[in-house]
């Protein structure tokens, strides 16, 4: 038989038993859909963490000197006990780093992360869960903030501890609507602040708004909340190529100002956005290690089901096989036909699984803050898995059909 005739015959047999074929493929469909959907969500998260979250938290061509590593608090008890003994960053640390990096584009002292959430009130309106961050003016350059209206915080605001605030676009929109925010007085932490600027929108990432923020002078912030254990030094270099050398010089300056002897461990951390990306990659690696096991179980179960169904089909079509052999069909032709049916079945299951996984990933992205990015390697892997299952689990039934004795097959009822 020609290869095309074999495929057409296999497709006709599958179409003649639609319901049985569907249940035969269910295991492959579910496992392949799981593979495509989970990989799509993880890859989407990886992209957002790298391109959106990391740069938004630390900045482009920037690094931070921090009290503890940027792992969002995921430490075991023993490590946390060690890290919690580290001293808080001080003005002396800040001045030492600034002196060591005269070529830096901007160096800022910030309130760190996370910062307290507070309500901001204006007249009879109120906006809740606003992230309050105390910063020195260069922080606005480190973060590449753009301004819709007004001006940024300036050195005089910091030096004189002025009660001024720069608010995010979301805060401005909810609090003032059509009114001009510039020059208005708002109440923050039971004190009155003058709005001097409105930041341009940075959007949302994973449901977290980067526009529900308020920046106040660092000196004023300390008056409100006291010295924070999460205070950090943010440094922006002119070019990405300068970041590594800048980090080395900042580390040397910190060790000198803290009088650490050679061999003593650092009592601080110097990290770029890559540290957050690396941390997230380690987390997703755990998820990726689970995926093969789950997919393998589904594929094996699906393959066993395909083999059993094909064996049942051989039994049902014994007389048909005998007739074909009687009119000249070779054993090789019979084997190819049944093997083709198994492969077409499994590839069809892979295609349905890919489409189902794709649709589920898009649904997750539409109804939740989780992003999704379809990876072509997962699609190709899914189709290869489908074809592989058909070959592996279709060999035995197809060979059994090919080895039937034509006389015995013709006598079968």
Residues 49-58: what's their mean pLDDT?
A: 56
pLDDT grade for 182, boundaries at 50, 70 and 90: very high
Rounded to the nearest integer, the mean pLDDT of the chain is 79
pLDDT grade for 394, boundaries at 50, 70 and 90: confident
Task: Tell me the range of 149-158, 322-331, 356-365, 384-393 where mean pLDDT is highest.
Answer: 149-158
Whether residue 132 contacts residue 164, with contact meaning beta carbons closer than 8 Å, is answered with no
Whether the pLDDT of residue 58 is over 60: the answer is no
pLDDT grade for 137, boundaries at 50, 70 and 90: very high
What pLDDT, on the 0 to 100 scale, is given for residue 386? 72
pLDDT grade for 193, boundaries at 50, 70 and 90: very high
Using CA atoms, how far residue 287 sits from 18, 47, 381, in Å, is 35, 16, 17
pTM: 0.61
Task: Tell me the range of 56-60, 75-79, 216-220 where mean pLDDT is highest.
Answer: 216-220
Residues 266-271: what's their mean pLDDT?
A: 88
Whether residue 59 contacts residue 234, with contact meaning beta carbons closer than 8 Å, is answered with yes
Using CA atoms, how far residue 255 sits from 37, 42, 89, 128, 237, in Å, is 47, 38, 12, 41, 21
Question: What letters, b where the CB count within 10 A reaches 16 and e where it falls short, cover 122-143?
Answer: beeeebeebbbbbbbbbbbbbb
What pLDDT, on the 0 to 100 scale, is given for residue 274? 64
Whether the pLDDT of residue 223 is over 90: the answer is no
Whether the pLDDT of residue 190 is over 60: the answer is yes
What pLDDT, on the 0 to 100 scale, is given for residue 151? 94
User: Which tens digits make up the pLDDT trace of 332-379?
Assistant: 777 777 777 777 777 887 888 888 888 888 887 777 666 777 777 778
Q: List all residues 6 or more positions away from 13 whose beta carbon is below 8 Å from its beta carbon.
A: 313, 341
């Amino acid at each position: 038989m020609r290869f095309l005739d074999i495929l057409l015959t296999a497709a006709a047999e599958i179409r003649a038993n639609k319901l049985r074929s569907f249940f035969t493929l269910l295991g492959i469909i579910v496992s392949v859909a799981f593979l495509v959907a989970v990989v799509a969500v993880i890859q989407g998260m990886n992209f957002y963490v790298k391109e959106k979250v990391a740069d938004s938290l630390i900045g482009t061509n920037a690094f931070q000197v921090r009290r503890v590593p940027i792992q969002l608090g995921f430490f075991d008890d023993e490590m946390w006990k060690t890290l919690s003994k580290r001293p808080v960053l001080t003005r002396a640390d800040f001045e030492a780093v600034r002196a060591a990096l005269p070529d830096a584009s901007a160096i800022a002292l910030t309130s760190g992360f996370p910062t307290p959430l507070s309500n901001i009130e204006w007249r009879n309106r109120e906006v809740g869960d606003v992230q309050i961050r105390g910063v020195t003016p260069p922080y606005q350059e480190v973060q590449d903030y753009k301004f819709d209206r007004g001006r940024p915080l300036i050195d005089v605001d910091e030096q004189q501890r002025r009660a001024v605030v720069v608010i995010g676009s979301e805060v401005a929109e909810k609090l003032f609507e059509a009114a001009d925010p510039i020059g208005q007085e708002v109440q923050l932490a039971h004190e009155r602040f003058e709005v001097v600027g409105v930041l341009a929108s940075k959007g949302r990432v994973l449901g977290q708004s980067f526009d529900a923020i308020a920046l106040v002078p660092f000196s004023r912030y300390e008056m409100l909340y006291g010295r924070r254990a999460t205070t950090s030094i943010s440094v922006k270099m002119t070019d990405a190529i300068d970041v590594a050398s800048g980090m080395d010089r900042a580390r040397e300056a910190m060790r000198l100002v803290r009088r650490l002897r050679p061999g003593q461990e650092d009592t601080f951390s110097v990290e770029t956005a890559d540290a957050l990306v690396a941390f997230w990659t380690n987390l997703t690696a755990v998820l990726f290690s689970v995926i093969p096991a789950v997919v393998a179980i589904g594929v094996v179960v699906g393959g066993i089901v395909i083999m059993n169904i094909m064996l049942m089909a051989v039994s049902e079509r014994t007389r048909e096989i005998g007739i074909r052999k009687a009119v000249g069909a070779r054993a090789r032709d019979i084997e190819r036909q049944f093997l083709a049916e198994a492969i077409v079945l499994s590839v069809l299951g892979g295609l349905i699984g890919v489409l189902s996984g794709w649709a589920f990933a898009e649904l997750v992205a539409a109804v939740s803050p989780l992003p999704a990015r379809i990876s072509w390697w997962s699609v190709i892997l899914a189709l290869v898995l489908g074809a592989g299952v058909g070959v592996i689990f279709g060999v035995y039934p197809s060979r059994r059909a090919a080895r039937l004795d034509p006389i015995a097959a013709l006598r079968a009822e």
